Amino acid sequence: MPTAVATKTKKAVKPRKPVTRKPAKRVTKAAIKPGSAKTKSHDASDLKITKIDTSYQGMNLQLPWTESPFFKQILEKSGLDSETKKLVQAYSDDGFVVVDLDIPNFDTLAQNIQNLFDKDNPPRRIHDAFAFSEDARMLAAHPKIMDLLQLLYQREPIPFQTLNFLYGTEQGTHSDAIHFYCYPERFMCGVWIALEDIDETNGALHYYPGSHKLPVYDMATLGVVGSDYMLEGREEEINMTEYKKYEQLVQALMEAQGFEKKHLYVPKGKALVWSANLFHGGDAISDNTRTRLSQVTHYYFDQCTYYTPMLSDPYMDEGRIRWRDIYNIATQKEVKQYYCGREVKHTVRNKETKW
Ligand SMILES: O=C(O)CCC(=O)C(=O)O
Ligand SMILES: [Fe+2]
C-alpha cells in the first residue's frame, strides 16, 4: 500500500479558475468553543492495516464490506480488536467517522496552506493544490488516512483530487455520488480536514448520519438527461439549472425520511471521513469576518471504473457514460480501471468525441 509521499515529481495540473470573494480577516473568537456540540471522534493513531476476509459463504461481493448486507457476519469473524470494531461499526451504521489525525507541526502546515490563497483577492477554493503544494499532497496521502481507508474498504485508497477552502462553502446538501462515482458501487469517499477551529459561525460542514443507506439518486431519477449537457458543451450550465432540482430533491428527502442534521464543530486537526452516498453540505456563514480553512480530499479505490454521474446516462442509446481518467496523488501514477477483475479502457467523451 502506498504510504510514502514523494516530494519531487510534480504533475502539471492547472487549478480551476477560482471564484473570488471579498477578503476577510482570520479571526478566532475565544468565546466560541470549537467542538462545543461534542463531536465524538476516534483516534486514528494505532490502526493496524488488517487484511480481513470479506467473503461470506464463499461469496465476495463487489461492495465495500462496511456497506455489505453481510457486514455483521464479516465483522464478527474479522478478528479486529474491540476499539477498531467500534470504529468500523460506526462507519457502517452512520456513513462517517471523525478521527484525530494528530499530525506533527500541524499549525505550520495549516499556515502554508493558508498562504496559497492570495491575500488581497483570495479565491474561495483552490482545486488540486496537491499539484504545487507539498502540504496539500501530504495531507491527501497521509499514512493515517490511507491506513484508515484501507481498513474501511479493504482496497487500496486512491486520493484523486483535493479542494482547499478558505471560507465556508455554503454548499447545498448533496451526495458526492452525483459528482463522481464508480462501479462497483460505493468505492468512493471524502476526507474533510479542519485546518482551523470550526464552530457555529464560520460555515461548518453538515451531514445526515445514516443517509448513506439511501439509494444513489442521479439526474435521470429527476427525468433529466444530463449527458445532453455534455454533448452540447454546456457542462457548466447544468449546475445552474437542473442541479437545483437535485438539491431540492435532497432537501425533501432529508425531511421526509427524518434524517437528523449534524454539524461538524471541531478543533483544527480533526478529520471527518464520509462514505460515497452520505448527504452533506456547508452551513451558512453567520460571521463574515471568519475564515474556515479546510481541505477535502476525494478518494476512489482500486479495481473499479470511474465516471461522472451528472453527465452520464448509462441506459440511453448504447450507454452514455462520462468516464473519468484518474490520477493517484499518492503513487503519482495514472490509475488503471477494472471491471470484475478485467482491465478496461474507456474514451473520456466530450462535445467533440460524443458517444
Ligand atoms: O466543505 C464543504 O463545505 C463541503 C465540501 C464538499 O461537499 C465536498 O468537497 O465534497
Ligand atoms: Fe461533497
Residue 238 lies in a domain: yes
Average pLDDT on 72-101 reads 96
Please, which residues bridge with residue 298 across strands?
161, 190
pLDDT in the model for residue 38: 56
DSSP string for residues in 56-113: BTTB--SS-GGGSTTHHHHHHTS---HHHHHHHHHHHHHSEEEEE---TTHHHHHHHH
Q: Is the pLDDT of residue 74 over 70?
A: yes
Residue 180 lies in a domain: yes
Average pLDDT on 81-99 reads 96
Q: Is the pLDDT of residue 145 over 80?
A: yes
Residue written as grid cell 462535445: 351
Residue 107 lies in a domain: yes
Residue 4 lies in a domain: no
Residue 29 lies in a domain: no
Ligand 1 in reach of 176 Cβ (< 6 A): yes
Asked if 221 contacts 181 with a C-beta cutoff of 8 angstroms, the reply is: no
What's the total number of domains in the chain? Answer: 1
Cα angle at 306 between 346 and 218, to 5 degrees?
115
318-329 pLDDT per residue, tens: 999 999 999 999
Closest CA to 156 of 300, 349, 297, 316: 300
Closest ligand by atom to 295 CA: 1
Residue 35 lies in a domain: no
159-193 pLDDT per residue, tens: 999 999 999 999 999 999 999 999 999 999 999 99
CATH of the domain at 222: 2.60.120.620
Q: Please give the residue range of the domain that contains residue 228.
A: 42-344
CB contact burial 206-227 (16+ within 10 A = b; e otherwise): bbbbbbbebeebbbbeeebebb
Residue 36 lies in a domain: no
CA–centroid distance, residue 58 to ligand 2 (Å):
35
Query: Could you tell me what percent of the chain has a pLDDT over 90?
Result: 81
Ligand 1 in reach of 167 Cβ (< 6 A): no
Residue 292 lies in a domain: yes
